[in-house]
């Protein structure tokens, strides 16, 4: 099975190498801003001419914003715009132009209705201070050194790795991987190189191919499995709040930059910013590590994983819970499960966001009309079942896989207003912690009739 996979390694750059990488990132920013100013000037000119009643055929000719067109325009003007262009690799300028071409295409497709999702705004100019330095190489010498502790990139030369690249080197030596590109990026005062690799992965089978697990994510527990396992929520951001507040107070007492007066930041301000950035990067790394370990274990063990399609953006509007929801990383957990289940030969099923997993009794199928968020124990008035609210939802998600596999079609769109599930036999009371994959029956479709099965294979 072929898939596109990334390998990310930390770098240990010398001061000279760091200046070279920053110069390449600056070149990408210059090319991006120059091309954006060119496109914006033409768009503004055409809009102004329309206000004066100029016919469309007499308007200022439009410019193409495809990558080849932007590249030709830059090559024609680079000697005048950036006389130092020969000091940087051509891939640096291509990085900025490619980012702009994709941003303009997304903006255009969003305006014309070709792109789904939220509206995409017009691209903005990149700031030297607020933009994350990054440069991408797609051509030239891109390889891992034989000692596996160095990488070689165009114009930057031999860069030392902070960790061994043996996992990637083994695949390259065996001929099961091919490097497509390499991106050097600074995250939290630490430089990383990320290789995009075309990998030939061996076919795998989960440890329990026929098993089904429902995963209910939350704040009190990061995940509650239908097997009864409770995965605690480490709350890395909450644990680091005291230190982050202290660093923020220190930063506020330093002299920062002022664009209105041209005041440059003090050295102490820059050191305070670096300390705060490292603290935030540590929180992000801890969160990423925990999610990777959890999703890898679930994908390798269970043949079918069922999760909910949560409206995370809507949940973040709750100002009391927004920080904890963002810290949990619900979207990242689902994203990782999507590709890892495909790698391991399993499948991921996503229940519709209107599926009443929390309001439904996992014993008899009765659906409550209302269930307050403060009610942490689910008590069924029909069969008397009483168990943890999240565990009850996990049991229902596991049963959702059986109902979907049975070919019953969409399950319970806006089903929260329906008291019982017709066509489903009343099950006996099940003890908490037992699997619910054996339940059978269907739920009549209500509300939306979209496909609830979401699979992704690479």
Catalytic sites, residue numbers: 216, 308, 390
Two tokens, residue 113: 């209705």
End-to-end Cα, the chain, rounded Å: 7
Distance separating alpha carbons of residues 413 and 443, to the nearest angstrom: 10
Two tokens, residue 307: 């999760």
The neighbour count for residue 257, using CB atoms within 10 Å, is 13
What backbone phi and psi angles, to 5 degrees, belong to 234? -65, -25
Distance separating alpha carbons of residues 24 and 89, to the nearest angstrom: 7
CA nearest neighbour of 224 among 338, 29, 376, 375: 376
The neighbour count for residue 236, using CB atoms within 10 Å, is 19
Distance separating alpha carbons of residues 24 and 423, to the nearest angstrom: 64
Is residue 389 within 8 Å of residue 360, measured between CB atoms?
no
The neighbour count for residue 297, using CB atoms within 10 Å, is 13
CA angle 204, 207, 212 (to 5 degrees): 110
Distance separating alpha carbons of residues 301 and 346, to the nearest angstrom: 9
């Amino acid at each position: 099975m072929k898939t596109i996979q990334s390998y990310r390694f930390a770098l240990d750059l010398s001061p000279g190498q760091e200046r070279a990488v920053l110069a390449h990132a600056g070149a990408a920013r210059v090319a991006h801003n120059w091309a954006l100013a060119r496109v914006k000037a033409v768009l503004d000119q055409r809009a102004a001419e329309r206000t004066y009643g100029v016919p469309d055929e007499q308007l200022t000719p439009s410019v193409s914003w495809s990558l080849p067109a932007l590249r030709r325009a830059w090559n024609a003007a680079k000697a005048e715009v950036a006389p130092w262009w020969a000091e940087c690799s051509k891939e640096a300028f291509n990085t900025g132009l490619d980012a702009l071409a994709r941003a303009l295409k997304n903006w255009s497709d969003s305006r014309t209705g070709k792109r789904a999702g939220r509206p995409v705004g017009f691209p903005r100019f990149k700031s030297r201070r607020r933009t994350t330095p990054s440069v991408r190489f797609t051509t030239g010498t891109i390889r891992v050194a034989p000692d596996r502790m160095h990488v070689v990139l165009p114009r930057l030369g031999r860069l030392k790795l902070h960790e061994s690249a043996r996992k990637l080197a083994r695949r390259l030596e065996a001929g099961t991987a091919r490097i497509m590109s390499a991106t050097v990026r600074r995250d939290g005062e630490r430089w990383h190189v990320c290789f995009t690799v075309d990998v030939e992965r061996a076919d795998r089978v989960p440890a329990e191919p026929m098993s089904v697990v429902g995963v209910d994510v939350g704040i009190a527990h990061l995940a509650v499995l239908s097997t009864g396992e409770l995965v605690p929520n480490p709350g890395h951001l909450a644990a680091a709040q005291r230190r982050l507040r202290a660093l923020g107070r220190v930063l506020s007492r330093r002299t920062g930059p002022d664009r209105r007066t041209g005041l440059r930041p003090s050295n102490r301000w820059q050191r305070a910013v670096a300390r705060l950035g490292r603290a935030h990067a540590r929180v992000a790394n801890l969160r990423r590590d925990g999610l990777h370990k959890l999703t890898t274990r679930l994908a390798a063990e269970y043949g079918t994983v069922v999760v909910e399609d949560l409206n995370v953006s809507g949940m973040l509007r709750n100002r009391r819970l927004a920080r904890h929801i963002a810290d949990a990383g619900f979207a990242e957990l689902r994203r990782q499960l999507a590709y890892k289940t495909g790698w391991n030969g399993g499948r991921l099923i996503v229940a519709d966001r209107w599926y009443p997993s929390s309001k439904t009794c996992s014993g008899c199928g009765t659906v409550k009309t209302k269930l307050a968020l403060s009610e942490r124990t689910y008590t069924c008035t029909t069969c008397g079942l009483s168990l943890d609210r999240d565990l009850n939802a996990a049991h229902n998600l596991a049963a959702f896989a059986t109902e979907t596999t049975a070919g019953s079609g969409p399950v319970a769109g806006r089903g929260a207003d329906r008291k019982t599930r017709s066509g489903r036999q009343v099950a006996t009371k099940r003890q908490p912690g037992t699997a619910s994959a054996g339940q059978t029956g269907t739920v009549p479709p209500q509300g939306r009739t979209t496909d609830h099965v979401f699979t992704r294979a690479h």
